[in-house]
Structure 1
Amino acid sequence: MDASPLVWTITVAGVLGLLLFDYFFHVRKAHVPSLKEAAIWSSLYVGIAILFGVGVLVAAGVHSGSEYFAGYITEKALSVDNLFVFLIIMTSFRVPREDQQKVLLFGIAFSLVARTGFIFLGAALINSFAWVFYFFGLILLITAGNMLKPESSESKSGDNVMVRIARKIFHTSPDYDGDKLFTVHNGKRALTPMLLVMVAIGGTDLLFALDSIPAIFGLTQNVYIVFTATAFSLLGLRQLYFLLDGLLDRLIYLSYGLATILAFIGVKLVLHALHENNVPIINHGEPVPVFEISTGLSLTVIVGVLVVTVLASLLSPAGRAQTAIANARRHATDYLDLGYTADHTERVRVYDALRHEEEIIRSLGGKYRKMVHEEPELMELLLSAHAEHEESVQRAAREDAGRQAGE
Structure 2
Amino acid sequence: MNTVGTPLLWGSFAVIVLIMLAIDLLMQGRRGEQTMSLKQAAFWSIVWISVSLLFSAGLWWYLKGTAGPEIAHTQTLAFLTGYVLEKALAVDNVFVWLMLFSYFSVPTSLQRRVLIYGVLGAIVLRTVMIFAGSWLVSEFSWILYIFGAFLLFTGVKMATGGGHDGDPGDKPVVRWLRNHLRMTENLEGEKFFVRRNGLLFATPLLLVLIMVELSDVIFAVDSIPAIFAVTTDPFIVLTSNLFAILGLRAMYFLLANVAERFSMLKYGLAIVLVFIGIKMLIVDLYHIPVAVSLGTVGGILAVTLLINAWVNHRRDRQMSQR
Change (3 A) 1:69 1:153: closer
Aligned-partner Cα distance in 2 for 1:194–1:242: 18
Specify the SS of the correspondent of 2:201.
Answer: strand
TM-score (norm 2): 0.90
Structure label with greater radius of gyration: 1
- Aligned-pair CA distance for 1:34: 1.4
Deviation (angstroms), 1:35: 1.4
Q: State the match for 2:256 in structure 1.
A: 245
The one-letter code of the counterpart of 2:268 is G
Q: Secondary structure at the match of 1:175?
A: coil
Residues 204 and 315 of structure 1: CA distance in aligned 2, closer, same or farther (over 3 Å): same
Moved more, 226-235 or 94-103: 94-103
Shift in CA distance, 34/3, structure 1 to aligned 2, threshold 3 Å: same
1:245-267 Cα offsets, whole Å, 9 max, x none, are 22221111111111111111111
The answer to whether the 8 Å contact 1:173/1:192 transfers is yes
SS of residue matched to 1:24: helix
Counterparts of 1:5-404 in structure 2 under 5 Å? 5-26=7-28, 29-60=32-63, 61-151=72-162, 155=166, 157=168, 159-185=170-196, 188-272=199-283, 275=284, 290-317=285-312, 320=315, 362-363=319-320, 365-366=321-322
**Deviation (angstroms), 1:186:** 7.0
Over 3 Å counting, the alpha-carbon distance change for 1:158 and 1:49 in structure 2 is farther
Q: What are the superposed Cα offsets for residues 274-321 of structure 1, whole Å, 9 maximum, x if unpaired?
A: x2xxxxxxxxxxxxxx22111011011000000010111122147745
Q: Aligned partners of 1:246, 1:92: CA distance in 2, in Å?
A: 16
Q: Distance in 2 between matches of 1:3 and 1:293?
A: 24
Q: CA deviation at 1:178?
A: 1.0
Residue by residue over 1:37-82, the C-alpha shift from the partner in whole angstroms, topping out at 9 and shown as x without a partner, is 1111111111101111112222221111111111000000000111
Does the Cα contact within 8 Å between 1:90 and 1:158 map onto a contact in 2?
Answer: no
Number of the residue aligned with 2:69: none
Instruction: Give the C-alpha shift of residue 228 in structure 1.
Output: 0.6
How many residue pairs are counted as aligned between the two chains? 311
The one-character-per-residue Cα deviations of 1:160-211 (angstroms, maximum 9, x if unpaired) are 3333222111110111111011124577421011111001111111111110
2: CA distance between counterparts of 1:121 and 1:170? Answer: 32
In 2, the alpha carbon distance for the partners of 1:316 and 1:2 equals 44
Greater alpha carbon shift after TM alignment, 160-169 vs 130-139? 160-169
CA shift at 1:17, angstroms? 3.2
TM-superposed CA distance for 1:153, in Å, is 8.1
Change (3 A) 1:57 1:6: closer
Relative distance call for 1:21 and 1:158 in structure 2 (3 A) is farther
- Partner deviation per Cα, 1:330-365 (whole Å, 9 max, x = no partner): xxxxxxxxxxxxxxxxxxxxxxxxxxxxxx8852x2
Structure-1-length-normalised TM-score: 0.72
Contact 2:168–2:174 (Cα < 8 Å) also in 1: no
User: How far 1:159 moved relative to its partner?
Assistant: 4.9
Q: Give unmatched runs, 5+ long, in structure 1.
A: 276-289, 322-359, 367-407
CA RMSD of aligned residues (A): 2.1
Q: Which sits farther off after the overlay, 263-272 or 185-194? A: 185-194
Counterpart CA distance in 2 for 1:51 and 1:109 is 22
1:327 aligns with none
Q: How far off its partner does 1:21 sit?
A: 2.6
RCO comparison, higher one (Cα < 8 Å, 6+): 2
Mapped partners of 2:167, 2:302: distance in 1 = 26
Deviation at 1:96, TM superposition (A): 1.5
CA distance in 2: counterparts of 1:242 and 1:16, whole angstroms: 22
5+ residue gaps in structure 2? 64-71
1:308 is paired with a residue whose SS is helix
State the alpha-carbon separation in 2 of the partners of residues 176 and 311 from structure 1.
Answer: 41
Using the alignment, how far apart are the partners of 2:171 and 2:312 within structure 1?
34
Percentage of identical aligned residues = 36
AA aligned opposite 1:298: S
Q: d(CA) in 2 for partners of 1:109 and 1:78?
A: 18
**Would you say the 8 A contact 1:42–1:240 is kept in 2?**
yes
Letter in 2 for 1:300: G
- Larger mean Cα displacement after TM superposition, 241-250 or 64-73: 241-250
| Structure 2 match to 1:401 | none
What is the CA-CA distance between 1:32 and the residue it aligns to? 1.6
Q: 1:108 to 1:74 in 2, by over 3 A?
A: same
